[in-house]
Amino acid sequence: MKAHFTKKTFHFKRPSGTSRGVLTKKHAWFIELWEESNPEIIGVGECSIIPGLSPDFSDFETYEAKIAETCSNLDIDLSNWPSIKFGLETALLDLKNGGRGIIFPNDFTAGTKSIPINGLIWMGEPAFMQEQIEEKLKQGFKTIKLKIGAIDFDSEIELLKSIRDRYSKDEITLRVDANGAFSPDEALNKLQRLSELDIHSIEQPIKQGQFEEMKKLCSETPLDIALDEEMIGVNRTEDKIELLDFIQPQYIILKPSLHGGIEGTKEWISLAEESNIPWWITSALESNVGLNAICQLTAEYSNDLPQGLGTGSLYTDNIPSNLQVKKGTISLADGE
pLDDT at 138: 87
Domains of the chain, CATH where assigned: 2-96 (3.30.390.10), 115-332 (3.20.20.120)
Helices (H) and strands (E) in the chain, counts: 9, 13
Which entry of 147, 190, 207, 240 is annotated as an active-site residue?
147
CA–CA separation, 135 vs 129, rounded Å?
Answer: 10
Q: What is the model's pLDDT at position 17?
A: 64
pLDDT at 334: 67
Q: What is the DSSP letter of 301?
A: S
Q: Give, in order, the Cα–Cα distances in Å from 13 to each of 191, 247, 316.
A: 32, 38, 5
The DSSP code sequence of 135-172 is HHHHTT-SEEEEE-SSS-HHHHHHHHHHHHHHS-TTT-
* Residue 309, helix vs strand vs coil: coil
- Report residue 246: phi and psi, to 5°: -75, -50
CA angle, corner 313, sides to 308 and 315, nearest 5? 120
C-alpha to C-alpha distance for 54 and 315, rounded to whole angstroms:
20
CA distance 118 to 308: 6
- Helix boundaries (H) for the chain: 60-72, 82-96, 126-138, 153-166, 184-195, 211-220, 237-247, 261-274, 288-298
Residues 23-70: tens digit of each pLDDT: 889 999 999 999 999 999 999 999 999 998 899 999 999 999 999 999
Q: How far is CA 305 from CA 142, 205, 230, 280, 309, in A?
A: 11, 20, 21, 7, 12
What's the per-residue H, E or C state across 12-28? EEEEEEECCEEEEEEEE
Q: Which of 26, 66, 207, 255 is catalytic?
A: 255
Q: Which pLDDT does position 19 carry in this prediction?
A: 57
Q: Is 311 exposed, middle or buried (0-12, 13-18, 19+ CB in 10 A)?
A: buried
What does the alpha-carbon distance between residue 86 and residue 74 come to, in Å, rounded to a whole number? 13
Closest to 119 measured CA to CA, from 132, 139, 134, 136: 136
User: What pLDDT shows up at residue 13?
Assistant: 87
Amino acid letter for position 58? S
Give the separation between CA 123 and CA 129, rounded to whole angstroms. Answer: 7
Give catalytic status of residue 147 as yes or no: yes
Sign of CA dihedral 212, 215, 216, 222: positive
Local confidence pLDDT in tens for the 336 residues of the chain:
999 999 999 999 887 766 567 788 999 999 999 999 999 999 999 999 999 889 999 999 999 999 999 999 999 999 999 999 999 999 999 999 999 999 999 999 999 999 999 998 877 777 887 888 888 888 889 999 988 887 789 988 988 998 888 889 998 899 999 989 899 999 999 999 999 999 999 999 999 999 999 999 999 999 999 999 999 999 999 999 999 999 999 999 999 999 999 999 999 999 999 999 999 999 999 999 999 999 999 999 999 999 999 877 889 999 999 999 998 999 998 644
How many CB atoms neighbour CB 271 within 10 A? Answer: 18
| Beta strands 323-326; 329-332: pairing state | antiparallel
Residue of 97, 109, 104 lying closest to 33 (CA atoms):
97
